[in-house]
Each structure stands twice: as structure tokens, then as C-alpha cells.
């Protein structure tokens, strides 16, 4: 710890030059740090101690601001928290939050590669924590990182494998990042993207998320301009007709298992739950109409216990 304190003192003197004190030059200090693999040594232990972690962060900040942080260094920082207990994970996350504003585009790309690999093996709690870290970093660095974070979170939310587990958490973080943007340009760009997804209607997961986010992102505009933004978007992209067409398409698909003579017993058992008013608030208003127009038309011999329920 004493040696680390001495190193911090040297860095502080470099940041605030004092002519009366002789000190090592920044380039020579960097040469010494690299030659002796000091960062690797500092990341090996004691990161659970907040005071120690703060001093290590100071060293990493110096390396980063000197444009000497390598991808290997960044990987070592990320690996330092892998599989570790809460205190170490928290301290490494705080370190990244202080560094993110100084990272290059190449660093950020590598960091998202790290995020993606961790998602493959993480449990649900770890995935939610990682999404929260991405949100924190994006709010801290609203330019390059935030734009990459929005794309990353959208891919997570619409991933069929992760859909049920992380969709809501990822979309919530996505909205909060957009809400932190200083300008309306990113919001309009994402509204255009949602409109394109709705018009294309080629992926169910994308369409569901686009519908949710379109509504939520519109609410981020100032109240006086929200109606104008939504109205103009609807006119430009013919969204009303698009949405009506999508609803007709999905109703046809939902009706098929109930009314088709070739539907399987599994279809007849599971499909009624899609329209259970207790499970879906949007359907409560239309439950009676759906019952009269669809359920009553099923042949008596095809009424399974699930349908009757």
C-alpha cells in the first residue's frame, strides 16, 4: 500500500506541475508501469477494499488519459471482477464508470464484446446487474457509449432466447438512456426505427418491442410537443394502417389453432390462454366480442377443458 501511495503522489504531481519539485516525466512513468506490468499486479488482489480500489482507479485513469490503455489492459480490468463477490464487482464497476468518458471507440467495442460473452453464461441476476451497469455507463458517457448501448440493449430485448428473461429490463434501460440524451435527435431516430420495424412486420419479437418502445419513447418528449411528434410520425409512416394490418394479421394467426380442423390438441389447450382477460389487461374490454366471434364458432366436439375454462 505504501508503494501505491507513492505512485499516486507522483501521478498527482504530474497532473499539477510544481516547478520547485523534481518529478519523473509522464512518458518515463508509463514506460516503467508497462515494463513492470504494474497494472496486472494491482488488479490481482485487495480490490474488495474501497480505498485500495480508488487508488488503483487513479492509476488506471492516468494510463487511460495518457492514451496508453491497451485492449489487454481493459480485458484484465473486466476479468478482475469475473466470478468475484459483491464488493469486488461493485468496485470494478465504479472504476469503469470513471474511465468510460476517456475510452476510445476501439475500447468501447471491446467492452461490449466482454458484455456479450458474459451474457452467454450469466444467470438472471447477473444479467440484470450487467444491464444496469450498461445503463449507468451510458448515462455517464452520453455520446459514443450511449449509442452503442442502445443498439446492444435492443438486440438483447429482441433475442428470442433471452426474451422472457431480460426483455422488460433491457427496454427499461433503453428508455432511460434515451431519456438522458441532451437532444431529441436520438429519440427521433429510434422512433423512425420502430416505425420501420412495424411496417416490415417480419419478426414477432421486434414488433412487440417496437410497439412498447414507440409508446414509451413518445412520452419522453415535452408534453406540448408529444402529440405533434406522434401525429407527424403516424402520418409520415402511415402507422395507423400499419398497426391495423398487424392486428388483423395476428388475429388470423391466433384464430387458426382454434378454428382450423387440423389443429392439434396442444393448440386447443394452449391457445385460449393467449386471450385470458385475467392475464392480459388489453383483452378485458374485448373479451365478450372475442368469445362471441370465435369461441362460439368452435365445433362442440373440439371444446377441450382448456377452452371451456
Residue owning grid cell 469486488: 88
User: Which pLDDT value is given to residue 172?
Assistant: 96
- The three-point CA angle 210-213-218 to 5° equals 125
H or E element, residue 125? helix 124-140
Distances (CA, A) of 227 to 120, 142, 184, 216, 240: 41, 26, 15, 13, 15
pLDDT top residue among 220 and 289: 220
Given pLDDT bands bounded at 50, 70 and 90, which one contains residue 28? Answer: confident
pLDDT tens per residue, range 41-82: 889 889 999 999 998 998 899 899 889 999 999 999 999 998
Select the highest-mean-pLDDT range: 174-178, 217-221, 264-268, 293-297: 174-178
Mean pLDDT of 144-170: 93
Q: What pLDDT shows up at residue 138?
A: 95
Residue 51 is predicted with a pLDDT of 92
| Residue 275, C-alpha cell as written in the block | 386471450
Q: Phi/psi class of residue 46: alpha, beta or left (left: φ > 0; alpha: ψ in -120 to 50)?
A: left
Instruction: Tell me the per-residue pLDDT of 93-147, one tens digit each, with 9 for 90 and over.
Output: 999 999 999 999 999 999 999 999 999 899 999 999 999 999 999 998 878 899 9
How far the first Cα of the chain sits from its last, in Å, is 69
pTM: 0.74
Q: Nearest-5° angle of CA 136, CA 139, CA 143?
A: 130
- SS3 percent helix, strand, coil of the chain, rounded to 5, is 75, 0, 25
State pLDDT tens for residues 236-289. Answer: 656 667 666 766 666 666 666 666 666 666 666 666 665 555 555 444 555 566
Q: Do the Cβ atoms of 165 and 127 come closer than 8 Å?
A: yes
Amino acid at each position: 500500500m505504501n508503494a501505491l501511495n507513492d505512485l499516486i503522489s507522483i501521478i498527482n504531481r504530474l497532473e499539477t506541475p510544481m516547478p520547485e519539485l523534481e518529478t519523473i516525466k509522464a512518458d518515463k512513468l508509463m514506460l516503467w508501469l508497462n515494463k513492470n506490468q504494474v497494472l496486472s499486479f494491482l488488479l490481482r488482489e485487495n480490490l474488495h477494499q474501497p480505498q485500495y480500489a480508488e487508488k488503483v482507479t487513479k492509476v488506471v485513469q492516468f494510463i487511460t488519459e495518457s492514451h496508453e490503455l491497451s485492449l489487454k489492459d481493459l480485458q484484465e480490468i473486466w476479468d478482475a471482477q469475473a466470478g468475484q463477490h459483491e464488493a469486488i464487482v461493485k468496485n470494478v464497476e465504479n472504476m469503469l464508470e470513471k474511465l468510460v468518458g476517456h475510452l476510445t471507440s476501439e475500447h468501447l467495442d471491446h467492452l461490449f464484446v466482454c458484455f456479450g460473452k458474459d451474457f452467454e453464461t450469466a444467470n438472471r441476476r447477473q444479467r440484470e446487474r450487467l444491464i444496469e451497469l450498461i445503463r449507468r455507463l451510458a448515462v455517464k458517457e452520453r455520446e459514443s457509449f450511449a449509442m452503442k448501448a442502445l443498439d446492444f440493449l435492443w438486440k438483447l430485448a429482441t433475442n428470442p432466447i433471452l426474451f422472457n428473461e431480460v426483455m422488460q429490463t433491457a427496454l427499461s434501460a433503453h428508455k432511460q438512456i434515451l431519456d438522458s440524451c441532451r437532444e431529441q435527435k436520438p429519440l427521433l431516430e429510434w422512433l423512425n426505427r420502430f416505425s420501420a420495424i412495424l411496417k416490415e412486420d417480419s419478426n414477432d419479437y421486434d414488433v412487440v418491442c417496437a410497439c412498447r418502445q414507440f409508446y414509451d419513447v413518445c412520452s419522453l418528449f415535452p408534453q406540448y410537443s408529444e402529440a405533434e411528434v406522434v401525429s407527424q410520425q403516424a402520418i409520415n409512416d402511415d402507422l395507423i394502417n400499419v398497426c391495423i394490418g398487424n392486428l388483423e394479421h395476428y388475429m388470423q394467426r391466433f384464430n387458426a389453432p382454434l378454428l382450423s380442423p387440423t389443429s392439434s390438441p396442444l393448440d386447443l389447450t394452449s391457445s385460449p390462454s393467449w386471450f385470458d382477460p385475467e392475464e392480459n389487461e388489453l383483452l378485458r374490454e374485448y373479451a365478450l366480442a372475442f368469445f362471441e366471434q370465435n369461441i362460439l364458432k368452435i365445433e362442440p366436439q373440439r371444446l377441450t377443458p382448456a377452452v371451456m375454462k
